[in-house]
Amino acid sequence: MSEGLTAADRERWAELVVQIEQARSLYYQADAPTMSDVEYDALFADLVELEARFPELASMDSPTQSVGGTASEQFAPVQHLLRLLSLDNAFSSDDVEAWAARVEKLLGELPPLLCELKVDGLAVDIVYENGRLRTMATRGDGRVGEDVTANSALIPAIPQQLTGGTTTHPIPPLVEVRGEVYLPLAEFEALNAEQRGLGLVEFANPRNAGAGSLRQRIDRRREEVEAARTSAGAARAQADLDRALARIGRLRLVVHGVGVWEGHEPAAQSEAYTALAGWGLPVSERARVVDGLDGAREFIDFYGEHRHDVEHEIDGVVLKVDDLSMQGRLGSTSRAPRWAVAYKYPPEVVRTRLLDIRVSVGRTGRVTPFAHMQPVKVSGSTVELATLHNASEVARKGVLIGDL
C-alpha cells in the first residue's frame, strides 16, 4: 500500500468512479448527457491523478483502464477485429509538447504528424470484405459494439460497395475502417425545426441527435407499421417510420482510422486516407501532415479561431504520428495509443443562475457539494449540475443561491 493512502482517498476514488461511469452511461447508452465535456474531463483528470499517487487504486475495472461504454442489449453484439481505443487528452500547449517529447524519446525523433479535426459524433467500426460492407458497429466497450449494419444502408455517405481500386491501392480482401457518424449543424437545425413544428421535444445537441438517430431499431418500426396496417394507428405508425428514416438519412460519416488491413498495406495514415477516398469512403479534406510542433500549433490555432466555420461540431484536434510502422513501434496503453493525442480547446464560458446547492455524502462521511443550475447549453450539451469540489471551495468563491 502506498504511504499516505487514507480512507478518505479511497472514498474519493469510489465517488469519482461512480460519477464517471454514470456520465458514460448517459453519454454512450442513453445519448443524453447531463455533464459537459469539460466537467467530465475534470473528473477523469482527478481520477488519473489520484491513481498516479496511489497505484493500488487503479484496478482493471477503473474507468482509466477502459474505453467508452458497453453495448446495449437492444442490438446484436459485434466483435471488432481489432480493439478500438480511446485517446489521451491535452489541454494546453505544454501538454502537447510533453506528448511530443515522449514520442521523440521512444522513437529517437519526432516524425511528421497528421493533424485532423476531432469530430463530435458517434464512433463506428466498418468492415469491408472483398469490397462489400459486411458489418457496421458502434464502438461499445472497444471490443464489442452494437450491430447497426442495417442502418448503414440508409446513410448515403456510407458506400455499401467499395470501387475504384488501383494497382497502387487495390481494394483489400478484408479492411476495417474507423470513423465518426455525425449530424451536420445545418441538418441539426432543420431537424429541431421539424420537432418544434410537430410539438415534439427538441434535441439537446447534434451529437445526441446523431447518435440517437443511428441507434434506432428501424426493423421494429417496420414491424409496428405492419402490425398497425389495418388499425386506426396505421397512419401514425407510418409517420413515425418516415421520420425515423429521414433522421438517419441526414447523417454523415468521416473516416479517421483503420484497423485490420489485409494485403497491400499503406506506409502512412495519410496514404491510407488517399486510398480510402479513392474507393468512395469520406475522409476529411482538412487533414494535414506537418513537420514538427510549429505546424501542429498553427493547425490548432487556426481551427481554434475558425471552429464555428466548420459544418459540424468539433471538440478539438487530433495529432497522430503519420508513419504506420512508427505507430506500431509506439504501441498503446490499456486504453489509448501512444502515437496520438487529442488537444481539447478551452471550455466555453456561459452564464446561468444557481438554483440550489446540494450535497452527496459518501460512506465515510465525505461531503461533496453540487451546484443545481438553471439548465444551460455548454459545448452543445444541456447542463444543470456541476460539482463544486468541496465546502472550502464554495466558501472561497462566495457562491450563493440566486447568483449568476
Catalytic residue among 105, 118, 377, 397: 118
Which cell goes with 119?
A: 469530430
**Beta partners for 261?**
175
DSSP of 34-53, one letter per residue? -S-HHHHHHHHHHHHHHHHH
User: Rounded to an integer, what distance in angstroms lies between the CA atom of residue 13 and that of residue 277?
Assistant: 45
CA dihedral 5, 8, 14, 19 (to 10 degrees): -130
DSSP of 70-104, one letter per residue? ---TTS-EEE-SSPPP---EE-SHHHHHHHHHHHH
Residues in the chain: 404
List C-alpha distances in Å: 191 to 121, 215, 235, 324, 345. Answer: 16, 16, 21, 40, 27
Verify whether residue 118 is a known catalytic residue.
yes
Element (H, E) at 263: none
User: Rounded to an integer, what distance in angstroms lies between the CA atom of residue 269 and that of residue 336?
Assistant: 17
DSSP 56: G
Find all residues with CB under 8 Å of 69, minimum gap 6, and list them: 24, 25, 27, 28, 29, 140, 141
Other C-beta atoms lying within 10 Å of the C-beta of residue 36? 23
Other C-beta atoms lying within 10 Å of the C-beta of residue 2? 10
Residues taking part in catalysis: 118
